[in-house]
Structure 1
Amino acid sequence: MTKLESIISLIRLDKPIGIYLVLWPALWSLFLSADGLPDIKLILIFIAGATLMRSAGCAINDYADRKIDRSVPRTSHRPLALGQLAKKDAIIVAGILIFLSFLLALNLPLLSILWSVPALVFAIIYPFTKRFFAVPQLFLGLAFAMAVPMAFFATENNSSFLVMFLVFLATVFWAIAYDTLYAMADKPYDIKIKVKSSAIFFGKYDLFFVLSFHFLSLFSLAFVGVLQQLNICFYIILSMVLIGILYQLYLAKNREPATCIKAFLFNNYQGALILAAIIIGLIK
């Protein structure tokens, strides 16, 4: 494997699911705050920003987990774990991506730029929370949710603070739900190497909590629909999202790693469906 191929693997450009999961809440927020179609320039900025920051987050994560990854079959092939890249390579790559993200953020209003600071802080500290915090997925949710206020303030439409807060909460709850499914795939290995995760913390009630956090996310979004006076189609599509959530639980019911990952990946469709619900719901 060439160094370029190793860097692509490090930042997971070959596995874009993380980009989508960062991007969907940002797009929800852009369309809600613009009360319809946002400026195409803003959409492109947030697509690029999601790509850059998620890639930087992967480099930071692999730097933090370089020793742990060697002990987990699913992650043992990562470039740092295999020694294909040095520690300094990951730091340099992350630094370049963060710098490019900062340059991109300069195209946004001041409040959006200011919100990019805690977004960066949470992206950096999240990988290290697995050592000391029982539910590190909360930090992941907060990192991903920082795109919400950035997007709301980017449109400069003086949107409702409550609507923004509810979308923020929905994003945090959703991230805890889907990343718990992801953590369930590695649970036996995480216990062995003494790494913390929500899947371990929730124990045998893991799927109950996955369902609960999904419900909290949907409830928050339904409340947004009421406040924004979205049409009936919004709620019809949200009910379809609920069916998708039940399908995720069905996939993960035996807690087998492959099916837990499949359930996790299904959340990409969930994010897209929620965006469709918002866009159609805004039609008057």
Structure 2
Amino acid sequence: MEMLSPTPPTVSQRLHNYLDLIRWSRPAGWLLLLWPTLSALWIAADGFPGWHLLVVFVLGTVLMRSAGCCINDVADRDFDRHVKRTVNRPVTTGRVGVKEALLVGLVLTLVSFGLVLSTNAMTVYVSVFAVLITLIYPFAKRHVSMPQAVLGVAFSVGIVMAYTAVREQIPPQAWWLLLGNLFWVLAYDTEYAMVDRDDDLKIGMKTSAITLGRWDVAGVTSFYALFLLCWAWALSGEELGWPWYAALAVGALQVVWHWRLIRHRERDTCFRAFTQNHWLGFTLFLGIVVSLLLQR
């Protein structure tokens, strides 16, 4: 009997697959990147940075996070089919081919790079480093005990770029903000890894949740505390006033709430904790924006 070739996807189906590939329906990922980057941009500019830089960093953040999803799904396609949460990803199921996914990621990266070219040379150089870290991260999960630290660097480079775009230099304040953000990534991505721990152990994937073991909840809580402490120290000389301190207090309350969500290590509540992290970033960003407005 003659075998019938599969029907090629329609334009609508292809578009749906691409949007699924870049997690368009799940904006929590790019919000986690966006809020610390915009916070750094506002601090570096001592207020509103102007529409040009705002558009560059908002679009660049969304595009690069989407490109990172393409690269990650290609790298993890043989692992994802063994993990409950990722078994239906488009590359794993074959709805999007490997070359196709890489092409989408390349196009998104080039568009993002084009936006960076409208800033200055120093920011362009830092963006190249950001792309390299994005490429390295998916493979760190095979060799690094806490690959979330590599992700933390990738998710924090936007902070440095904000300073180079505005000031064309990287002051110590930027490094403190980067360090704090790295701790935040360790916190929320460990919550994420706690969701998949059973599956990751079976397939030999390395994650911070596995490395920390029974100290995972204490580790996550400590990472959150270090995040807030680093940012409080970094911005202590800015005299931001009560809105900033109120934001830190609300942020600390959110950390307590996260501890309550993850303390029993249940899959659903750990995933909920991860997906709600962007509110912590937004809280600190709002505190910075309002404080700078009141200074004027």
Q: Same fold (TM over 0.5)?
A: yes
**Range with bigger deviation, 246-255 or 227-236:** 227-236
Matched, 1:38 2:38: no
Question: 1:144-163 residue pairs with structure 2 within 5 A?
Answer: 144-156=155-167, 161-163=171-173
2:116–2:124 CA contact under 8 A, matched in 1: yes
1:189 corresponds to which residue? 199
Shift of 1:278: 1.1
Question: 1:1-284 residue pairs with structure 2 within 5 A?
Answer: 2-156=13-167, 161-282=171-292, 283-284=294-295
Q: Give per-residue Cα distances to partners, 1:74-123, cap 9 Å, x unaligned.
A: 10010111111111111111111111111111011111111101100111
2:147–2:207 CA contact under 8 A, matched in 1: yes
Q: Give per-residue Cα distances to partners, 1:203-249, cap 9 Å, x unaligned.
A: 01101111111111100111122122221331122011000011011
Residue segments in structure 2 that go unaligned for 5+ positions in a row: 1-8
What is the number of residues matched between the two proteins?
283
- Please give the alpha-carbon distance, in whole angstroms, between the structure 2 residues aligned to 1:262 and 1:41: 35
1:109 maps to a residue whose letter is N
Q: Percent identity?
A: 37
- Please give the alpha-carbon distance, in whole angstroms, between the structure 2 residues aligned to 1:263 and 1:177: 10
Residue segments in structure 1 that go unaligned for 5+ positions in a row: none
Detail structure 1 runs of 4+ shifted over 6 Å in the superposition.
none
Shift of 1:8: 0.8
1:27 maps to a residue whose letter is L
The DSSP-based 3-state class of the residue aligned with 1:155 is: helix
- Please give the alpha-carbon distance, in whole angstroms, between the structure 2 residues aligned to 1:46 and 1:39: 11
- Please give the alpha-carbon distance, in whole angstroms, between the structure 2 residues aligned to 1:12 and 1:80: 12
Shift of 1:275: 0.2
- Please give the alpha-carbon distance, in whole angstroms, between the structure 2 residues aligned to 1:224 and 1:146: 16
- Please give the alpha-carbon distance, in whole angstroms, between the structure 1 residues aligned to 2:153 and 2:15: 31
TM-score of the aligned structures, taking structure 2 as reference length: 0.93
Shift of 1:150: 0.5
- Please give the alpha-carbon distance, in whole angstroms, between the structure 1 residues aligned to 2:219 and 2:85: 24
2:42–2:289 CA contact under 8 A, matched in 1: yes
1:76–1:82 CA contact under 8 A, matched in 2: yes
1:170 maps to a residue whose letter is G
Q: Give per-residue Cα distances to partners, 1:242-272, cap 9 Å, x unaligned.
A: 0001101111121111111100111110010
- Please give the alpha-carbon distance, in whole angstroms, between the structure 1 residues aligned to 2:157 and 2:128: 9
| Structure 1 vs Structure 2 CA RMSD | 1.2
- Please give the alpha-carbon distance, in whole angstroms, between the structure 2 residues aligned to 1:276 and 1:128: 35
1:33–1:157 CA contact under 8 A, matched in 2: no
1:121 maps to a residue whose letter is L
- Please give the alpha-carbon distance, in whole angstroms, between the structure 2 residues aligned to 1:157 and 1:30: 12
TM-score of the aligned structures, taking structure 1 as reference length: 0.97
